């Protein structure tokens, strides 16, 4: 078990995050009405903070996470000069996907326990 918040959120926590006035823009992917993926982003200064990229377990490994990551970057407001996110320090598949997408680890930035922060300049 890790200390990453996504692995500890209740349904009520997720619903509150979607409904709250915290500045997050959430995107979802549905297939025949079924929620199969989601991601969110919000502007923090000039950084587009990306969070909660989620893909249904039975659909992982098919590129949906990559598409969500690309889309959530594409909807960043013009004021965003870079992107930031975090993932589990042992999440090999996630780290590989983020590296391919141009993100780099930032050990100089604070991260949640058992996680790493990654950033990417906006081009």
Mean pLDDT (whole number) for 7-25: 67
Q: How many CB atoms lie under 10 A from the CB of residue 99?
A: 12
- Range from 12-21, 55-64, 75-84, 112-121 carrying the lowest mean pLDDT: 12-21
> What's the number of domains the chain is made of?
1
pLDDT tens per residue, range 19-77: 556 788 999 999 999 999 999 999 999 999 999 899 999 999 999 999 999 999 999 99
Nearest CA to 40 out of 30, 28, 54, 26 is that of 26
Cβ neighbours of residue 102 under 8 Å, at least 6 residues apart? Answer: 120
Helix or strand or coil: residue 118?
A: strand
HEC-encoded secondary structure of 61-113? CCCHHHHHHHHHHHCCCCCCCEEEEEEECCCHHHHHHHHHCCCEECCCCCCCC
Quote the domain boundaries for residue 39: 5-121
Mean pLDDT (whole number) for 87-105: 94
Mean pLDDT, the chain, whole residue set: 88
| CA 7/CA 76 separation, integer angstroms | 25
CATH number at residue 27: 3.40.630.30
């Amino acid at each position: 078990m890790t200390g990453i918040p996504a692995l500890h959120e209740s349904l009520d926590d997720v619903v509150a995050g979607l409904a709250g006035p915290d500045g997050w823009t959430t995107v979802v992917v549905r297939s025949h009405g079924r929620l199969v993926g989601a991601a969110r982003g919000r502007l923090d200064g000039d950084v587009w903070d990306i969070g909660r990229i989620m893909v249904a377990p039975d659909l992982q490994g098919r590129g949906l996470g990559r598409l969500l990551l690309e889309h959530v970057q594409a909807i960043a407001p013009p004021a965003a000069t870079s992107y930031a996110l975090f993932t589990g320090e042992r999440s090999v598949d996630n780290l590989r996907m983020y590296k391919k997408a141009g993100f780099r680890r930032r050990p100089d930035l604070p991260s949640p326990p058992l996680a790493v922060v990654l950033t990417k300049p906006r081009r």
